[in-house]
Amino acid sequence: MTEPDLFEVVNPATEEVITTVELAGPAETDAAVARARAAFDTWRRVAPADRARLLRAFAAAVDADREHLAALEVANAGHTIGNARWEAGNARDVIEYYAAAPERLFGRQIPVAGGLDVTFQEPIGVVGVIVPWNFPMPIAAWALAPALAAGNTVIVKPAELTPLTALRLAELALAAGIPEGVLQVLPGRGPVVGQRFVTHPDVRKVVFTGSTRVGKEIMAGCAAQVKPVTLELGGKSANIVFADADLAKAAATAPYAVFDNAGQDCCARSRILVEASVFDDFMALLEPAVRGVRVGDPSDEKTEMGPLISAAHRERVSSYVPDTSAVAFRGSAPDGPGFWYPPTVLAPVRHDDRAFTEEIFGPVVAVVPFRDEQDALRIANATEYGLSGSIWTRDLGRALRVSRGVEAGNLSVNSHSSVRYTTPFGGFKQSGLGRELGPDALDAFTQTKNVFISTEE
């Protein structure tokens, strides 16, 4: 017998150990894949209306457990209680939305000579879902809901640091009547459990959300078995503010577009590009907005930003702001235990500064001026990432031109929204491959089968 691999789960706001979770090894992973493979044979044959009913029951169970799920996320990930409630509600909404899919996975009937030609949207098989620590609940739900709806079985590997809400979702699924083996949550290390999803021949699809570095390794590994992948990777998104915008609103909302979830958001607008003629006015409005961000105890209803996820991550974030950095202004952060880091605004910043080019994944934003529309697009697109972005202007033509010009998958005009469960989400360039949410996500979990039936006598 080998020693169990025990992982201490820590509350990032207090540094206290909440619980200990046993991480799966290679043998447990293979056993989970075997269960999922066996369950696939029956789950795919469950009548569409029954699969839909089971998913609706699962959504209802999540709904009834929202406060508990939210409290778990506050403790495990340091999310503010407001955000954590939204995340639990989002998981419910996504499951409910895809509960409508089993009865609507239409194929086509295509005109051909000599018979009838029809297509079927077939499930792929066992889907391995690898989740990061920044949004444990929504990211798990965005993959498992459409995958299950399409008739696949799913194994979720949560991030080592944040397994608690995913484990709870698996319990709720079972309680709602989803059969054993259809949805499993397997805490484990990336290079062990996650890597086994890549190499195991019975895992027929991998969904990965996380860093671009690991995402590339997963994609390369999956090539060996021509295994499809969905990748949701990093970002360095631009918030572009034109002189004709509602500057007060743009400045008041900009901090939340980057400091929400302490900046640990792949969609964080971590570069603010401001038209040069209003740069100073914008900075004057931004300063009180940044200083006003309420950072502290995430379980307090009034708190707007909690801690970073870990001491190691705080080290990494700090490395982008050495003593030589031009810090224009900063918000506050509590003293004492917890992995706190204050909202930080860098200006002026060189375009080749790593704080301007690399994903920091923390509450640090860089502000730079631009000359005109072309210059704004040039700066916004001078990155290998392309996940999201915002455009602030009152000129509709410009809003559309710039929206079409920014190389990113999710843009919002005069707002900072990225995610609606009814609309597609995903990255351009090295921010990802494939789309989650909305009607598009089902494509990632089905394969088209064409059947020709001869009518010849």
Residues of this chain that bind ligand NAD (CB under 6 A): 130-135, 139, 157, 159-160, 190-191, 194-195, 209-211, 214, 217-218, 232-235, 266, 359, 361, 387, 427, 431-432
Q: CB–CB of 155/181 below 8 Å? A: no
Distance CA 307, CA 337 (A): 10
Q: For tokens 């190691």, name the residue.
A: 312
Tell me the closest approach of the beta carbon of residue 264 to ligand NAD, in angstroms. Answer: 7
Identity of the residue, 45 or 213, whose beta carbon is nearer to ligand NAD in the bound complex: 213
Q: Which candidate, 123, 100, 47, 44, places its Cα nearest to that of 443?
A: 123
Identity of the residue, 233 or 399, whose beta carbon is nearer to ligand NAD in the bound complex: 233
Distance CA 90, CA 99 (A): 14
Q: Is 2 exposed, middle or buried (0-12, 13-18, 19+ CB in 10 A)?
A: exposed
Identity of the residue, 151 or 307, whose beta carbon is nearer to ligand NAD in the bound complex: 307
Within 13 Å of residue 437, how many CA atoms lie on the same side as its CB? Answer: 20
Tell me the closest approach of the beta carbon of residue 385 to ligand NAD, in angstroms. Answer: 9
Tell me the closest approach of the beta carbon of residue 373 to ligand NAD, in angstroms. Answer: 27
User: Which of these is catalytic: 96, 266, 267, 275?
Assistant: 266
Tell me the closest approach of the beta carbon of residue 428 to ligand NAD, in angstroms. Answer: 11
Identity of the residue, 4 or 348, whose beta carbon is nearer to ligand NAD in the bound complex: 4
Q: Give how far Cα 381 sits from Cα of 130, 236, 240, 321, Å.
A: 28, 10, 12, 23
Q: What is the dihedral of CA 130, 134, 136, 141, to 10 degrees?
A: -80
Identity of the residue, 23 or 241, whose beta carbon is nearer to ligand NAD in the bound complex: 23
Distance CA 210, CA 182 (A): 24
Structure tokens at 181: 């083996």
Identity of the residue, 37 or 196, whose beta carbon is nearer to ligand NAD in the bound complex: 196
User: Which of these is catalytic: 87, 232, 275, 359?
Assistant: 232
Tell me the closest approach of the beta carbon of residue 259 to ligand NAD, in angstroms. Answer: 15
Q: Which residue is nearest to ligand NAD (CB)?
A: 190
Q: CB–CB of 270/258 below 8 Å? A: yes
Q: Give how far Cα 425 sits from Cα of 216, 411, 432, Å.
A: 19, 10, 10
Identity of the residue, 253 or 264, whose beta carbon is nearer to ligand NAD in the bound complex: 264
Phi-psi region of 393 (alpha: psi -120 to 50; beta: other; left: phi over 0): beta
Annotation says 407 is catalytic = no
Distance CA 40, CA 46 (A): 10
Q: CB–CB of 345/339 below 8 Å? A: no
Tell me the closest approach of the beta carbon of residue 162 to ligand NAD, in angstroms. Answer: 9
Identity of the residue, 160 or 300, whose beta carbon is nearer to ligand NAD in the bound complex: 160
Q: Which candidate, 171, 183, 180, 107, places its Cα nearest to that of 145?
A: 183
Tell me the closest approach of the beta carbon of residue 445 to ligand NAD, in angstroms. Answer: 17
When computed from its CA atoms, the radius of gyration of the chain, rounded to whole angstroms, is: 23
Beta bridge partners of 208: 130, 231
Helix, strand or coil for residue 289? helix
Tell me the closest approach of the beta carbon of residue 232 to ligand NAD, in angstroms. Answer: 3
What is the DSSP-derived secondary structure letter of residue 158? -
Annotation says 266 is catalytic = yes
Point out the residues that are catalytic.
Answer: 232, 266
